[in-house]
Amino acid sequence: MGRSIRAAGLAVWLTLLLTVPAFGAEPESLVPVGKTVGLELEMDGVYIVGFSEEDSPAQAAGLQTGDCIKAVNGCPLDKAETLRALVSESGGGTVVLDLDRAGRAVQAAMRPVNRNGELFLGLRVRDRIAGLGTVTFYDPETGLFGALGHGVSGGNRQPIVIRGGLAAETCVSGIRRGKAGSPGSLLGPASGGTVLGRIEQNTDRGLFGHADGAELEGQCAPLAAREDVRTGPAEIWCGLDGGQPAAYTVEIEAVRLDEEQCRDLRLVVTDRRLLEQTGGIVQGMSGSPILQDGKLVGAVTHVLVRDPTRGYGILIGHMLEGADQAAKAA
């Protein structure tokens, strides 16, 4: 259709490290949550999120956004703050970076340049990421929770490898409304709140971890089988009022299986309250559970940048398969 799309969750630069057991059998019911939370992820390495200027030594050497720097001149690197010191130790000589590029080992050599007495590669890097997102479900049987419905990725669109992370209480302090060509977002602190659970996986179908459930407990809803999901009225649960969930009406315009892109469902927001508050789907609403006929259908994942009243969602079965496949691969 030629329309650009954007993930409605963490606005990011950004598979998996996990301790979550495989499901064995898919649960028959889960608690739909819809709570807006702060999400903090600790990256397993130092990721390149951009370049400070064109034609920097790093760009000239072929480095790319999304590359993970594993070592500098043979010295392992796990903190962004260490990179500057290691470059300085080179004394202006050749710096060799060992990189992970979407699972492929790459090595790049470059000579730093001097900028105002400091050796400079022209990189912007990060070892942590934080933002707002929405918890989709909680399993009271196992303590497992899932959020976002898509992965937190780097510039190469691959989910970043994480050491772990936290989901914490937050308060939505404001909303930047979406408009054509400019996605909106929920505003609020991503860190510092009471910890609700620990994130253990970052997969292409969502973030997964465990919680004690005190703040995520609720009434379980049966899971909709794929063949039961239909076009027509539905609702999404999202936390706009202080982060606490409320139900808003949407229409499922199309149902299709798109496992690679997390866009099984095409949605249009019909709720006047939501349209007045946000303009439609905004960043931070990724993971908002979708319910139809009292059943948990899936989660909101993306917004159409050209039309924020429309977006996409992932089926709950695909989301759970992502957690299960990741556990089996660990």
Q: What pLDDT does residue 115 have?
A: 83
Instruction: Give the domains, in start order, of the chain with CATH numbers.
Output: 5-43+128-329 (2.40.10.120), 53-121 (2.30.42.10)
Q: Is 288 a catalytic residue?
A: no
- pLDDT tens digits for 35-64? 999 999 988 889 998 888 777 899 889 999
Q: Is 271 a catalytic residue?
A: yes
Confidence of residue 4 (pLDDT cuts 50, 70, 90): very low
The letter for the amino acid at 96 is V
Q: Which of 286, 288, 302, 324 is catalytic?
A: 286
Helices (H), 94-158: none
Distance of alpha carbon 184 from alpha carbon 177, whole angstroms: 5
Give 73's contacts (C-beta < 8 A, 6+ positions apart): 86, 89, 90, 95, 96
Q: Is 150 a catalytic residue?
A: yes
Residue 246 belongs to what H/E stretch?
A: strand 244-255
Q: Which of 78, 258, 271, 307 is catalytic?
A: 271
Distance of alpha carbon 120 from alpha carbon 118, whole angstroms: 6
- pLDDT tens digits for 166-212? 999 998 999 999 999 998 999 999 888 899 999 999 998 999 999 98
Q: Which of 98, 150, 204, 288 is catalytic?
A: 150
Confidence of residue 162 (pLDDT cuts 50, 70, 90): confident
Taking the model in full, what pTM does it have?
A: 0.83
